[in-house]
Structure 1
């Protein structure tokens, strides 16, 4: 009798064997529903305790260490959706010597067996959808390390797959290599603080994947991995979807479990098609050469993944349990009981980072846990874009502040708003009709990504058409949580959920939901030394508590009782009674948002009278500070 380990090796190392076995059994019972049983089988296997950690991840393991046709997983964002394609779902092969016919399954494969009988009446043509998926943009190093560290998958270099060109490891990559492989590549303008070199992998193997082209302005017809952010690293993948593909949307974040296909025959077929189409009249060819290059890239560069099961990721924080909070009552109760104490620790930590300004630290916490929880017509509810003005310009304070935030949140991106970046970067995705693909942009980000806009880098100069378009796009994200993708002849609106923090000297030129002016309580002689001391909490366990704390409030339901609603209305009337101009409906809306976030930050799922009074108090302090600053700086708007 096979051991549990042997059985695990079977469904992970040879999933096609499981599929073909169920297909063969179905020949005696045409109504067996074998396709649904295949999916249920793998779902059941993955429900076993720690079973997902047994499956190798394409995010952590180099492609040449993964066994072809094995079960792998991929944590990704749907960057583009290609047209549906037809394939041979069932086909018949003929043995050339015995003439025996065998019915075979073509599902979860890219290449058929030899000896296909194309005239067979038993051939079944089926349809599948293809998604172009990339690693989650801006995923923080600590997230990658945590996922890789929890993996129990055992991988060895594949002997049956050799890439056509072995890419150098990230650590060995340099500009010369970039120029060799991408002669048309332009130098990328500086967009953010550089992170130290990261080491990932299983055992002694280094990740040896392909680096994203760093130029956002590269020609769409030039083959690249089409990552939304410059300098991203990791594999991109063509995910083949066989069922319910209409339930997926562009920019969804998924963890896909599927069968890896890296057959060299895919590259050979693409080369043959290139050669044959070059001889045809272009008017008779259904695909352009650019489209073929994008949709059928070499499998060694862009592997295929045949989806068996996909789990939507409401977040990519590895510290949260896989199941919903309702199914983890013990985790939920213990976490909520500690929320207030962890909040106090985080407030102290951020107060040091913000040079002793406890009020600014309060608002930064509220910003970091904010989330668009619903939309009322076109109005996104729950967003809390924060403008942190008064930031020091010495010692790259804003860049260090971003690095601290990056240590706390699962996904983030730094955008220095200098003239070169604004005029050269492509923030809005654009449809390339020649290659029939969506060319990514810097605002094609996953849900709850923290976008750090550094306005302290503003300089004198003229914004060109691209710059104006980019500033407009940033304003739309902040105000409406949407990005208008460019389809040449029209724009298509895509909703987003991006946390925008604007660091500036004076009031930001961009809109925001709230502005807090930084009032430094300390004036360190050496800013770098001060930030280095306070940049890291006392222990990694404390850092993990902060990371968990900032993700939990977004998963909680929140409500306001009728009694509190009436109390808030009465307070609003009283505040306007003496001076109707002192508070507007917009101010009330902001106070309600602050009260909601304040309650959630304490682990409370309903508004209490104390939280409402606290929200009114800190809003009064903030507005008073802004009035004082306006009096001192008369030129401030």
Structure 2
């Protein structure tokens, strides 16, 4: 049975907000924003009810919804630095004054006897649709086709991490004081609230109208297989089919390269305190494009399989002109290309880099990428300071030479393709698996990317003994080699949907790495 409150909230969230306010005892009004958050989140507690809320389309949200419509916006928090905004929580008439019902900046002069006890602060953020979110994933979560189309430039385009890509940006106003639970920079959050268009005042005194979402409640967003509804079945034959498809369509039939590509793309930060970060991968001797198409086929494969994937086609102009780290200018945070959601796989192509000189920004960009690869932190630049924020990004570099021209990655694998292979097929020329098979591939990947795996006691003892024997045979073997092989074993195990690293998985990881090293001989 459909709740009457659900119907009312969907039809007119403002009316429901007003009636909730009028029903409150005067002693409870000081904590009304918390009451609002609890009330609306309870109405939309179930996944079925939550799905009833219209999702902001990928572009021009204010033009596609009526004013003060109830919408949800799954967004990356781009900027938390705007100053809190003052609002009048109770009007002279006794009516509610928050959630865009009263603009204090325009109307305060009309209120002759304002009670300053009724003044409150709301948190103001800037948020953008999630960079690199694949179309199939958007469709799955929103129960509607992805609607990324080319339209008029959105306001403040410099606040979106991926240059020249269609997107939306929204001013977010949060009335519930969340304390330590307040949305954090680069966090992905589901904001649910009332959509309006309001003026945004900048430090340069310029005023522009922007989409503004007055938040009723928020809901955390997590990458979970159950959220995708993709099922949970996988076996080794499915994994082998996936590796075969990647190899045959994008990597010249090189199954080892496809397996390393798969494992690297599944990696996540395991422990910051122990520096168990995702291993970065370079596929070396990657062929250059010979036609007008410069984006490699493996980029389309990545987007078809992963929820979050960004391709950075490098050139000297790109390195020298585009900021990779966020930077505050006139108290306005400009985004950098690495201000991405946790769990994003970043594919970097070096084929577009020709001879030339790196200027200061280019050198800083190279250093920024290396820091994120190695430390999993991204430095945000402010006029008199610099702060580092945690990241969780996976990097795969396609290098023309024997190694990357710019970065030291954890793993290098020389590509060994078959003859006469086209590495730069257009997306429409991809031989896609059946719909059911593609869904199974995605389920395997999302399950592995969010999965956990333990080390059995028997395997731990075996690995320690094996490492000691290996060091006796080769003194160049270090504890870092052990750490990397164990990381690969964990990735191999979760790609098999195993719960524990076994002796067999450890030996398979060692054999995979042995074949990799043999390519350098």
Question: How many equivalent residue pairs?
Answer: 509
- Structure 2 residue matching 1:427: 3-state secondary structure: coil
The equivalent of 1:307 in structure 2 is: 215
The equivalent of 2:178 in structure 1 is: 244
How far did residue 610 of structure 1 move?
0.7
Q: State the TM-score, normalizing by the size of structure 2.
A: 0.89
CA distance, structure 2, for counterparts of residue 11 and residue 133 of structure 1: 24
**Structure 2 residue ranges without an equivalent (≥5):** none
The equivalent of 1:229 in structure 2 is: 162
Q: How do 1:41-190 residues align onto structure 2 when only pairs under 5 Å count?
A: 41-48=39-46, 50-60=48-58, 62-81=61-80, 82-93=82-93, 103-111=94-102, 117-121=111-115, 124-148=118-142, 150-151=143-144
CA distance, structure 1, for counterparts of residue 423 and residue 32 of structure 2: 65
- Structure 2 residue matching 1:132: 3-state secondary structure: strand
| Aligned 8 A contact 2:287 2:423 in 1 | no
Q: Does 1:621 find its partner at 2:515?
A: yes
How far did residue 529 of structure 1 move?
6.8
The equivalent of 1:254 in structure 2 is: 189
- Structure 1 residue matching 2:226: 3-state secondary structure: coil
- Structure 1 residue matching 2:296: 3-state secondary structure: helix
Q: Does 1:496 find its partner at 2:357?
A: no
How far did residue 212 of structure 1 move?
4.8
User: What is the aligned counterpart of 1:606 among 500, 507, 510?
Assistant: 500
- Structure 1 residue matching 2:113: 3-state secondary structure: coil
| Aligned 8 A contact 1:228 1:441 in 2 | yes
- Structure 1 residue matching 2:171: 3-state secondary structure: strand
- Structure 1 residue matching 2:501: 3-state secondary structure: coil
Q: Does 1:407 find its partner at 2:304?
A: yes
Q: After superposition, what is the alpha-carbon deviation per residue over 1:221-279, rounded to whole angstroms, capped at 9, x for unaligned?
A: xx5462111122232111111220542211101111111122xxx44xx7xx8xxxxxx
- Structure 2 residue matching 1:321: 3-state secondary structure: helix
| Aligned 8 A contact 1:426 1:442 in 2 | yes
| Aligned 8 A contact 2:55 2:71 in 1 | yes
CA distance, structure 2, for counterparts of residue 371 and residue 525 of structure 1: 31
How far did residue 122 of structure 1 move?
8.2
| Aligned 8 A contact 1:387 1:502 in 2 | yes
- The alignment's C-alpha RMSD in Å is 2.9
Q: Does 1:344 find its partner at 2:240?
A: yes
| Aligned 8 A contact 1:212 1:232 in 2 | no
The equivalent of 2:479 in structure 1 is: 585
**Mean Cα displacement is larger for which, 250-259 or 409-418?**
409-418
Q: How do 1:394-473 residues align onto structure 2 when only pairs under 5 Å count?
A: 394-395=289-290, 399-432=296-329, 434=330, 436-473=331-368
Q: Does 1:297 find its partner at 2:208?
A: yes
How far did residue 70 of structure 1 move?
2.2
Q: Which has the larger radius of gyration?
A: 1
Distance 1:224 1:615, change over 3 A: closer
The equivalent of 2:380 in structure 1 is: 485
Q: How do 1:505-516 residues align onto structure 2 when only pairs under 5 Å count?
A: 505-506=400-401, 507-509=403-405, 510-516=407-413
User: What is the aligned counterpart of 1:322 among 224, 227, 243?
Assistant: 227
**Mean Cα displacement is larger for which, 479-488 or 363-372?**
479-488
- Structure 1 residue matching 2:383: 3-state secondary structure: coil
How far did residue 39 of structure 1 move?
2.0
CA distance, structure 1, for counterparts of residue 30 and residue 101 of structure 2: 25
| Aligned 8 A contact 1:383 1:499 in 2 | yes
- Structure 1 residue matching 2:416: 3-state secondary structure: coil
| Aligned 8 A contact 2:252 2:421 in 1 | no
How far did residue 200 of structure 1 move?
5.0
Distance 1:528 1:565, change over 3 A: closer
How far did residue 37 of structure 1 move?
3.5
**Mean Cα displacement is larger for which, 543-552 or 501-510?**
543-552
